[in-house]
Structure 1
């Protein structure tokens, strides 16, 4: 839960009534964008105010008149979806920079250069976005903006989203150590034991090949075999 010092106010004015709640600005924007964020995580204070500055609570009559209910979750959800998020200039600047970085990270993890099959470094994507004069808004999630950004990058960069297959062979000793790592990076398609070794076939975003290999090698001190496969080479 965000502290009150870092929280901002969402204000809704409707039917002559005013409702205010203290929220985590990042989570509030995510919730407004349709992401499944628990309301308890969004709120800094579990209270619905008429005037947050004065500490005046909203009345049950006002809630019923506007929302048709006094249910806390229903009212808070309505305020978040329809209300206005009040941010300072510094908060807007920080959130804008964070959202930009989130877009860069998503593209870097999922995209490759189709000319050589290799990922684009985040710095190259960042530079191309600036050159293309991409505008990233804090009012939408990073995921919602990626497709439009990718479209603007294509005249400047050979780029496309792609997934690749990875075959990983680990010893009985190392298999438990990499179990969670494999599932964090992709979708496991097949897993089988051959003697004392576990062979896992999974699909991962093309842009994370280096990070994937590094984490597995670190977890096993290099005692692992990793092979990236094209679709035609994947065992059926």
Structure 2
């Protein structure tokens, strides 16, 4: 049985009717924000209520009138996507903290210090967010908020979104393995095979991920790879 503090009410009102279902707050907000998630991982029960607290269930006629169906999954999805998700202060605080971590991660991967062309440490990003007093909405998507926050913290620290173009050179011993992983590392701009089986490739990656990508290449090749930063823009 799901503990009471682990679920909340998702409510949708339309045409003078009110509909409520019990959902897990984190999963419901992920679904609402567009994440692909199974409805069965979101809802707590398969009951649709007129008033959860009073235990009053919605009538089939009301469901049919508003949603055009009595199918639980279709209705529950609409309630979550179109309605409001009620959360406690503690749940909202936790959701904001989780979203904040995701935003900081996005910024650290995609932005750099334009003076040094180096990634910005997560702690520095977090401090800048506090200085700029940015507000985080737990219901809005990470990328949209992160791009807006970058504009705000640019008043506090030098920062910009950038891409890095890198060239990698891998000897024949590891070239096939690396080639199969290139698309997982970034956008492949060029590949060239030398006569001896050496692979030379150019990748465009988020500028903040330079060291992460280099570390992955070193792991794949046991350190036997040459990496050059061709451009940061």
Q: TM-score, normalised by structure 2?
A: 0.85
Q: Is 1:198 aligned with 2:199?
A: yes
Cα deviations by residue, 1:22-59 (Å, 9 ceiling, x for unpaired): 334233223323x2524436523462421556877544
Q: Give the alignment of 1:58-73 within 5 angstroms.
A: 58-73=58-73
Q: Which residue number corresponds to residue 49 of structure 1?
A: 48
Q: Which residue number corresponds to residue 222 of structure 2?
A: 221
Distance 1:49 1:197 in 2: 62
Q: In structure 1, the residue corresponding to 2:124 is in which secondary structure?
A: helix
Q: In structure 1, the residue corresponding to 2:156 is in which secondary structure?
A: coil
Q: Verify the 8 A CA contact 1:167 1:202 in the aligned structure 2.
A: yes
Q: Which residue number corresponds to residue 90 of structure 1?
A: 90
Alpha-carbon RMSD across the aligned residues, in angstroms, is 2.6
Q: Which residue number corresponds to residue 207 of structure 1?
A: 208
Q: Verify the 8 A CA contact 1:21 1:43 in the aligned structure 2.
A: no
Q: TM-score, normalised by structure 1?
A: 0.84
Would the alpha carbon gap of residues 111 and 94 (structure 1) be closer, same or farther in structure 2, given more than 3 Å must change?
Answer: same
Cα deviations by residue, 1:37-94 (Å, 9 ceiling, x for unpaired): 2443652346242155687754432211111223444312320122221222221111
Q: Give the alignment of 1:99-178 within 5 angstroms.
A: 99-178=99-178
Structure 2 unpaired stretches of 5+ = none
Would the alpha carbon gap of residues 75 and 220 (structure 1) be closer, same or farther in structure 2, given more than 3 Å must change?
Answer: same
Distance 1:208 1:117 in 2: 12
Would the alpha carbon gap of residues 190 and 154 (structure 1) be closer, same or farther in structure 2, given more than 3 Å must change?
Answer: same
